[in-house]
Structure 1
Amino acid sequence: MTNQPSITISQQPLTIEQVVAIAKAKASSKLSDDVAFKQQIQRGADFLAKLLADEGVIYGVTTGYGDSVTVPVALDKVHELPVHLTRFHGCGMGEYFDAEQTRAILVARLRSLAHGASGVSWTLLERLQALLDADILPLIPSEGSVGASGDLTPLSYLAGALIGERDVIYQGQQQRSAEVFKALGWTALQLKPKEGLAIMNGTAVMTALACLAWHRAEYLSRLSSRITALVSMALDGNPQHFSEALFKVKPHLGQQQVATWIRDDIAATQHQRSQQRLQDRYSVRCAPHVIGVLRDALPWLRETIENELNSANDNPIIDVEAEQVMHGGHFYGGHIALAMDTLKTAVANIADLHDRQMALLMDTKFNHGLPANLSAAENDRKALNHGFKAVQIGCSAWTAEALKLTMPASVFSRSTECHNQDKVSMGTIAARDCLRILTLTEQVVSASLLAAVQALSLRQQRHQRELTDDVKHFVDDVREQFDLVAEDRPLEAELRYWLSQIQQQRWSLYAKEDMS
């Protein structure tokens, strides 16, 4: 990670972009070396040690967990309790989080503990930072959290890795964490009485996924606007649908921003239309309203996600100044659940928008003179070739799956754990749903991108169109690696390539405005 920016983790707020930069290994991280910060963290651990010496009662430290709160744990055994917590929660299932997601999880947990209200030692923070520094990534199953008492089961794999009992990915290989620590000259961490609970009893997984989801969705709102502009030009659309005067009377800021982007993109073609339709179909005319919903949701979604990211969200909370242990429910992931249920619906509507735009481009009843299925075949080859016909079927399938997943996860609370956890958030499921919907939508957008470029190229063959410099550079960039579909060919490899480019955010689209 040489020559990369370094992001300091302290009690100062982190942003979504900072989490994403560390997750993507585009930035390193470090703990603040501020002496007062270190002392405040350690004071929490010291206070708990003093309370234990005075035989104080602390949930999850001198008692069992959850419904077992009424079961006292002898003081000579409190150091064993966090180890048992990590072990009995080792029942995750499903796919494992990838490297990017796992780094984000580590950052989110570290930032929460750095708040100074969890009663953990400075040593624990140092070891979490050391995992990030060495890119030692706990192997964490994605399924098994109800999102209240936090992300207990997935985070148990982080806690278990720290004590040498779980697998990690290190230098591309799956290994036992104890073996990796031994090779590096480290010792496995011995968790202090509350540290197992502090690591596991929080919203780090859902919050980390939410940061990654927000980042992808924000980019999609830009790319969706650019593709809509290409579609409008390819369909010989009416540019007045995006006029400034029109959007002044419905002043949603995100919607106005999208209309401005599209208006600027099509500016060079406004007086070159061959047809004079009063109204295009909704998937073109109302595109700013559809994309604008997502765009307008992004600022408050950011506020919610970053608030959770920078919070202390375990239980109990330690007030060091007042020397008080406060028992509550900050592990409840309701805010992230709502944010992800909201975001996934807005994103799925982007998939639906482009699926409908694809349908217009393909159909000679609606595409205003473009060839059927956008095939570039000519003469006697036309009858043999089917262009984007199957791709449009694929778009419908991906869109249908995305729409199906928009059912809010947060309303499916299940009473569990002897009715102790009798109202839960399902925030992690909502975040996982959102990431899946994002992938499906990116697949639709990948297909829409190629179809829109093909359609615009075919339109330009019939009626020459000038393009703005930004749009021309964008289209030329795609054309350099995408040949028009004249003779049928399998498009899977090309779709996968452009999907990867979208996910890597290949293009800088429009001027970056403040989204805070």
Structure 2
Amino acid sequence: MNNSAPIASTSAVVFNGSTLTLESIGAIAKRQRPVQLERNGPFEDRIRQGAALVERILDEDGVIYGVTTGYGDSCTTVVPPELVPQLPHHLYTYHGIGAGRLLDDEETRAVLACRLASLSQGASGVSWPLLEQIEAFLQHDILPCIPAEGSVGASGDLTPLSYLAAALCAERDVRFAGETMPASQALAKIGRAPLQLRPKEALALMNGTAVMTALACLAWLRTEQLLLLSCRITACNIWAMNGNAYHYNSTLFAYKPHVGPQSVAARLRADLQSAQPARNDHRLQDRYSLRCAPHVIGAVEDAMPWLQAQIQNELNSANDNPLIDVDTATVLHGGHFYGGHIAMAMDTLKAGVANIADLLDRQLALLVDSRFNNGLPSNLSGAQGARSSINHGLKALQISASAWTAEALKNTMPASVFSRSTECHNQDKVSMGTIAARDALRTLELTEQVVAAMLIAARQSLQLRLHVQQHTPMPQPLEDFLQQLTKTIAFITEDRALDTELQQLLAQMRQGYWRPQWAFEAASSEQ
């Protein structure tokens, strides 16, 4: 992605301590909306009061954790007054021990936005110039190079966020204008000075859940699209295999009042356009991967509002330690850096997403098998005559999809139960929220690959069913979808490598191109 790409919309996401949505973080991450601090009002006043209160408490009392003491288990170590200004630099310096891949551009923008959201709650005691420096990074698309690994999710995302703190101070590397360069060079190019961290500001930047929360925001948004697309693909598979549409009857689903399965069944009815199709002479009841698809997809869909609430609450929280309460002029010591809600949400989400991969993988296994697909050619090969002997259709695609599914399922072991005692047993119970979030994104990546494979299979199987049953009209929603598929995927007659088309589908998917819509849901949302 080109870091210098212009922002698509002039409607700014305003940071003023009010509630932000996951969608707003997603829009910032994709550079669809700019970022703007609210200036010259109560919000700016509160931020400045918090920083002033820290200074006052230091002058009057002389003791604040992480300001006049060491960090973590070193909280009993007293820092001499003359060394207090140097302490923030030491915090982000010794935490420069990240590893693994670097967060990509979208993930990094989301991290910056999530940290700005937390600090904008006005309880962190940071100065106004610190917020302006983060704002400038987002506006100019200066992206710190943040290693993904090294956080146990308490005391927050210390190690990865140290790369943000260092970059704001013109240290370490950033990505800017399509290049990787020293942060000092990028700041010079936009005419900004390095940030000079005040007491507590390194702690406020690093001691929080911004990395796990950012990844969770993006994971939730990707899952929302994936659920809708899995409904449309399932409808394609039902029709291509001559499945029984009466499995999704509205009266049937009224007897089990889970909203998610009812919604999925309604989408399938709309796509198939019939509650009672022509009788299927092969089976009275379809196999579970078709018949129970609303229950599998719907269970995940019913979890989505709960997951959204947990992530959004974390996004809009002050989650460093200690907090500075301006109203009561007190320092509040606690553990809001603990990422337990994100850990639980991501462990739940990745299990649900992997379950979708497994459902679609089972549908594909039926679809390519001539024993179960009700008259379609083996492996959905489009070759005919003598050439059918040397052509193998989607045989390898099904193997790859099965491999991706297996890895997604393997990845569902909950990270939140693997707490490790760290830092001289001061951090003796930690959330593992960042690991859970990374696992969720990897599970999503694998499942999206399965979905892309299913789009190729849908294009092939729908066309083949038309050939086999030339007098059976295709429901209009599926016909429209097939026309959309043919713009990207050519019908497979002779064997060809499909990896280029797979990658193109994945890129389109991640831009929202394949997100389906149903007219009855759009009408309902407008009322």
TM-score (norm 1): 0.98
2:217 is equivalent to residue 219 of structure 1: no
Q: Report the Cα offset of residue 481 of structure 1.
A: 2.5
**TM-aligned CA distance change 1:268 to 1:475, over 3 Å:** farther
Q: Measure the CA separation in 1 of the matches of 2:236 and 2:54.
A: 62
Aligned with 1:477 (options 476, 484, 499) = 484
Match of 1:130 in 2: 136
2:312 is equivalent to residue 312 of structure 1: no
Q: Measure the CA separation in 1 of the matches of 2:459 and 2:472.
A: 13
Secondary structure at the residue paired with 1:79?
helix
Aligned with 2:304 (options 262, 274, 298) = 298
2:466 is equivalent to residue 490 of structure 1: no
Aligned with 2:259 (options 231, 253, 264) = 253
Secondary structure at the residue paired with 1:94?
strand
In the TM superposition, what are the counterparts of 1:41-190 in structure 2 within 5 Å? 41-190=47-196
Q: Measure the CA separation in 2 of the matches of 1:104 and 1:490.
A: 35
Query: How many residue pairs get matched?
Result: 515
Q: Report the Cα offset of residue 270 of structure 1.
A: 4.8
Q: Report the Cα offset of residue 469 of structure 1.
A: 3.5
Match of 1:407 in 2: 413
Secondary structure at the residue paired with 2:324?
strand
The amino acid of 2:26's aligned partner reads V
388-397 or 274-283: bigger deviation = 274-283
**TM-aligned CA distance change 1:357 to 1:365, over 3 Å:** same
The amino acid of 1:498's aligned partner reads L
Provide structure 2 residue ranges, at least 5 long, that are not aligned to the other structure. 1-6
Q: Confirm or deny: 8 A CA contact 1:52 1:75 kept in the other structure.
A: no
Q: Confirm or deny: 8 A CA contact 2:228 2:515 kept in the other structure.
A: no
Q: Report the Cα offset of residue 262 of structure 1.
A: 0.8
Q: Confirm or deny: 8 A CA contact 1:269 1:465 kept in the other structure.
A: no
Secondary structure at the residue paired with 1:416?
coil
Secondary structure at the residue paired with 1:95?
strand
Q: Report the Cα offset of residue 234 of structure 1.
A: 0.3
Aligned with 2:338 (options 325, 328, 332) = 332
Q: Confirm or deny: 8 A CA contact 1:269 1:467 kept in the other structure.
A: no
Match of 1:35 in 2: 41
List per-residue Cα deviations over 1:184-242 (Å, max 9, x = no partner). Answer: 22110000110000000000000000000000000000000000000000000000111
Q: Confirm or deny: 8 A CA contact 1:337 1:409 kept in the other structure.
A: yes
Match of 2:4 in 1: none
The amino acid of 1:93's aligned partner reads A
**TM-aligned CA distance change 1:31 to 1:273, over 3 Å:** farther
Q: Measure the CA separation in 1 of the matches of 2:396 and 2:208.
A: 45
2:506 is equivalent to residue 505 of structure 1: no
Q: Confirm or deny: 8 A CA contact 2:246 2:275 kept in the other structure.
A: no
Provide structure 1 residue ranges, at least 5 long, that are not aligned to the other structure. none
Q: Report the Cα offset of residue 500 of structure 1.
A: 1.3
Q: Report the Cα offset of residue 267 of structure 1.
A: 0.9
Q: Confirm or deny: 8 A CA contact 1:31 1:129 kept in the other structure.
A: yes
3-12 or 497-506: bigger deviation = 3-12
TM-score (norm 2): 0.96
List per-residue Cα deviations over 1:28-56 (Å, max 9, x = no partner). Answer: 11011251110001111000001111243
2:364 is equivalent to residue 358 of structure 1: yes
Q: Confirm or deny: 8 A CA contact 2:459 2:489 kept in the other structure.
A: no
Match of 2:438 in 1: 432
Q: Confirm or deny: 8 A CA contact 1:63 1:73 kept in the other structure.
A: yes
Secondary structure at the residue paired with 1:290?
helix
List per-residue Cα deviations over 1:324-370 (Å, max 9, x = no partner). Answer: 00100000000000000000000000100111001000111111111
Q: Confirm or deny: 8 A CA contact 1:44 1:318 kept in the other structure.
A: yes
List per-residue Cα deviations over 1:464-484 (Å, max 9, x = no partner). Answer: 333343332221011122122
Secondary structure at the residue paired with 1:325?
strand
